[in-house]
Structure 1
Amino acid sequence: MTNVEENVSTEKVGRLRIPRSRGALGGLAVLLLGAWGALIPFIGPYFTFAFTPDDPWAWTSARGWLQVLPGVVAIIGGLLMLMSRNRLVASFGGWLSVAAGVWFVIGPFLADLLRLGSIGEPVATSDLKRALLHLTFFYGLGALILFFAATSLGRLSVRTERDIAFARREATVVSDRGAVVDDRVVAPAPDSRTSEPLRKPDVRHRPV
């Protein structure tokens, strides 16, 4: 591999490498919100905070499609943003989170059209609690997931000076370990100057 090919491959890898902290905040927020969205329909009845049927751990088709599914997708997206040091992988997690947030918002409107089942009626005696249930179970929850996912995608789309410095450190480590070929680290070829066996110096006694 020539020096030019090695530099191009290293630069390619450097553009994809990001500090793990780049998507950590948004990823953690999306992960926690997704866990809330997937679990609240089953544990909410313990606190009289639920939609009907208001029995703990009661499974319905609508809960599976409209709450558990987007919640799990948000958890996966949040984990990818939180843990990945690759820009493409973290961005994929961000778009998964966007899809989950959108589905939390529009899912209840499409439930009847797609025959996914009924979300039930909010267990509430006041309009304020009824609105709060709709916001925390669906619309407000989806909006928050969308906010954090979109913010993380914006951060991931920009290559800052910190990213460049991080990529240079990564490139230095890679160059010390070997060449980069198709995003893989390969041990460098042995140097002919160092692979030859060492020869003993020719020391001859000279007459005094």
Structure 2
Amino acid sequence: MTGKMRAPRSRGMLSGLLLVLLALWGGLIPFIGPYFDFGFGSSDPWVYSNDWLVLSILPAIAVGLGGLILMFAANRPAAMFGGWLAALGGLWFVVGTTIAGLWNMGVGAPLGGEARRITEQLTFFDGLGAVMILLAALALGRFLVVGVKEARREEAERRPVDDRGGPEYTAVPAQHKRHFHIGRQKAGSGAGKASRRE
């Protein structure tokens, strides 16, 4: 596996963990929210419908799976797949309720007054999906960048080696050779002078 394919697991750990937590919220809040008069349609908890399956449960599964991949991926392609999966799940949280209206689907009107209805719409769908997309985009950006340590490791792996298994032999620079010959010439010239004096 080349250096460009590898990536530290810690790079997507935080974003992946947050995405998993948000996915748990998105998948469970439709069923436990009514305990606190916080939800859509019925005020009874744990009311399942195909509308909730399409609008909350399935996108939550996609985001949670993407977050788990980001947390444990050790190579870039897998991490990129997890990031895109989480981003698409978050996108469905944002646009799903709008598209569902065209399919004659819906989870009912939000409960409570105006302020609570806005909060429910944001925390169940639009705002929740926007935060998921943001975290997924941040994770994708981190995996697109090659760190300095990774680049150095890749360079070290590509460095050629000689037949003995060690680093490639590096010739002595010409400057050093010239200094060596000059020293020999000086020593020889001194010996010549000494012989002539004799």
TM-score (norm 1): 0.72
What whole-Å deviation, never above 9, does each CA across 1:146-172 have from its counterpart, x for those lacking one? 000001101111111133356579x6x
Q: 1:54 is matched with which residue?
A: 43
1:84 to 73, 80, 104: 73
1:72 CA drift (Å): 0.5
Q: 1:156 is matched with which residue?
A: 143
Q: 1:120 is matched with which residue?
A: 108
CA distance in 1, matches of 2:38, 2:8: 40
CA distance in 1, matches of 2:155, 2:128: 39
Q: Which amino acid aligns with 2:126?
A: Y
Moved over 2 A (4+): 162-169
1:56 CA drift (Å): 1.2
**Structure index of larger Rg:** 2
- The gaps in structure 1 that reach 5 residues or longer are 1-11, 172-208
- Asked whether the 8 Å contact 1:38–1:71 carries over to 2, the reply is yes
Residues 60/16 of structure 1: CA separation in 2 closer, same or farther (3 Å cut): same
Residues 165/46 of structure 1: CA separation in 2 closer, same or farther (3 Å cut): farther
Q: Which amino acid aligns with 2:128?
A: L
Q: Which amino acid aligns with 1:141?
A: L
Q: 2:96 is matched with which residue?
A: 107
TM-score (norm 2): 0.75
Residues 167/63 of structure 1: CA separation in 2 closer, same or farther (3 Å cut): farther
Matched, 1:63 2:52: yes
Q: Kindly report which structure 2 residues correspond to 1:171-182, keeping only aligned pairs within 5 A, or say none.
A: none
Number of equivalent positions: 158
Which shifted more, 21-30 or 136-145?
21-30
1:49 CA drift (Å): 1.1
- The gaps in structure 2 that reach 5 residues or longer are 158-198
Q: 1:179 is matched with which residue?
A: none
Q: 1:23 is matched with which residue?
A: 12
